[in-house]
Structure 1
Amino acid sequence: MTDNPHIRASDDERNRVIAALSEAFAQGRIDYAELDERTEQVWRCRYREELITPLEDLFPDPTVVLDTAVPAVIPHRAVSPASTQVTGESGGSEMSLSMMGGNEKSGDWLCAPRHTSLTVMGGNYLDLRSARLTSRETEIVAVAVMGGIEIVVPEDVRVVSSGLGIMGGFGITTGKRVTTRMNDLPADAPVIRVSGVGLMGSVTVVRKPRKAT
């Protein structure tokens, strides 16, 4: 009988590897881009042996991670139901537009994997705290021309901003009641990527606690 090294990986083993990667990120041993890439790699792994690769430069013997139980406490995993916010539904809102007026999306709404928000001499407001996300990674392209766009995200979601302010502003702020640092979020937390431009206007991403239910 021939030995078969291709043993299927379990979700428990994937979670152990992700917990180890999250700890390495918290220690500054890998950066966010590496964490993001390796986490995606883990979820694509079908076989146990494939889970070793993301850990090879972090542990002398990466197989130890697979045989060690996930720590009882993972920082801030229970802060809020971020994972349940990703529903995997199809469709969703792809555009919010205003010209010399306003456009608001809040409460229970479905956000597409890529949403473009554009305002010209107006104001847009996107509140993602109760929104349903179709994907673990959501891209929002925000363009404010002589106007303003405010995007509110829950504190248990990771935010990546790569926008530009031209005679205007583009950035992330954290509300006073936020208690969770992004560095403390689990590796599998949903990701909101915000890009675009504030041209004589402003795009502001605000991290806030989820609304009480």
Structure 2
Amino acid sequence: MSDGGTPRLRASDDDRRRVAAALSDAFARGQLDYGELDARTEQVWSARYRDELFAPLSDLLPDPARILEDRAPAPRPRTAPRSPRAGAETARQQVTGEPGGQSLTFSLLGMSQKRGDWLCSPTHHTTAMLGSTVIDLRLARLTCAETTINAFGVLGAVEILVPEDVLVIGDGYGVLGAFEVTEDKKVTVAQRDLPADAPVVRVRGLGLLGSVGIRRVPRESGD
């Protein structure tokens, strides 16, 4: 019960999708950075009651409650030229729900790669120390809809290739090095145009005298 005696309403997945989509729009407008989007999206998907969904939007919209007033199906983002709907279906098929998966990629004075058809665990750790690692997710199978990659480039370079129909959230730092999210010039689908239920890849890490680079690429790209 609320303080006024009115029963609190449980949040539905459609409610959560609406708020998550509003957060994605705020990110596209520059109101949130990657880390804030990550934290608030986690808050939304862990909310049990509808009134708990208003807090993540409280400093973004004048009246957050209006997001949930329209009970029609949650609107999909604007379509991009290459039909994000079709691309989103491909991305969803990439999430197989298989157990296990590979959880580590490490290089020391050399190079390690994960390419082609491979199963990525829900949390993957990659470190390049005086070497380089490449994590290519274009043909990889994902065990769940949200994948976390912890990446560390220490006097080395980590490159993570993410297909453009998967949402990328980067949260990291460069210390005398670099941590950055970039897009291939052939990418045609903006992150803001992805549906709220698109798979998510969160990259957390550090470039210490090295680099961590996350690059959005077309699925058909061979680079």
Question: Which TM-score tier does this pair reach, normalised by the shorter chain?
Answer: 0.7 to 0.9
Aligned counterpart, 1:118: 127
Q: TM-score, normalised by structure 1?
A: 0.74
CA distance, structure 2, for counterparts of residue 38 and residue 205 of structure 1: 21
- Give the aligned partner of residue 12 of structure 1: 14
RMSD: 3.3
**Structure 1 stretches lacking a partner, 5+ long:** none
1:56 Cα deviation from its structure 2 partner: 4.2
Q: 1:24 aligns with which of 23, 26, 37?
A: 26
Change (3 A) 1:17 1:173: closer
Contact in 1 for aligned 2:151/2:158 (Cα 8 Å): no
CA change 1:4–1:155 in 2 (3 A) is: same
Structure 1, residues 87-137: CA drift from partner, whole Å, max 9, x if none? 454432222233444322112222234333334554422201122334514
Which amino acid is the alignment partner of residue 152 of structure 1?
L
SS of residue matched to 1:153:
strand
Quote the offset at 1:71 in angstroms. 5.5
Tell me by how many angstroms 1:158 deviates. Answer: 1.1
Alignment counterpart, residue 69 of structure 1, candidates 61, 69, 72: 72
Give me the whole-angstrom Cα distance separating, in 2, the residues matched to 1:103 and 1:176.
25
Quote the offset at 1:19 in angstroms: 2.7
* Contact 2:25–2:192, Cα closer than 8 Å, also in 1: no
Aligned length: 207
Opposite residue 77 of structure 2, the aligned amino acid is I
Tell me how far 1:74 sits from its aligned partner: 1.1
Deviations 1:63-101 (A, max 9, x none): 563334246441355243334444454432222233444
1:91 paired to 2:100: yes
User: Which residue is 1:153 aligned to?
Assistant: 162
Alpha carbons of structure 1 residues 14 and 119: separation in structure 2 relative to 1, 3 Å: closer
Q: How does 1:14-53 map to 2 (within 5 A)?
A: 14-53=16-55
Percent identity over paired residues: 45
Pair 1:143 & 2:146 matched: no
CA distance in 2, matches of 1:75, 1:183: 8
The DSSP-based 3-state class of the residue aligned with 2:213 is strand
Separation (CA, whole Å) in 2 of partners of 1:37 and 1:115 = 19
Residue 60 (structure 1) aligns with: 63
User: What is the deviation of 1:207?
Assistant: 1.7
| Secondary structure, counterpart of 1:62 in structure 2 | helix
Q: Which runs of 5+ in 2 are unaligned?
A: none
Q: Distance in 2 between matches of 1:153 and 1:40?
A: 20
Q: Indicate how the Cα distance of structure 1 residues 97 and 27 shifts in structure 2: closer, same or farther if over 3 A, else same.
A: closer
CA distance in 1, matches of 2:108, 2:64: 58
Distance 1:59 1:87, change over 3 A: farther
- 3-state SS of the aligned residue for 1:38? helix
Shifted more, 72-81 versus 120-129: the winner is 72-81
| 1:93–1:112 contact (8 Å) kept in structure 2 | yes
1:182 to 175, 191, 212: 191
TM-score under structure 2 length normalisation: 0.71
Report the secondary structure of 1:142's partner residue. Answer: strand
- Aligned twin of 2:182: 173
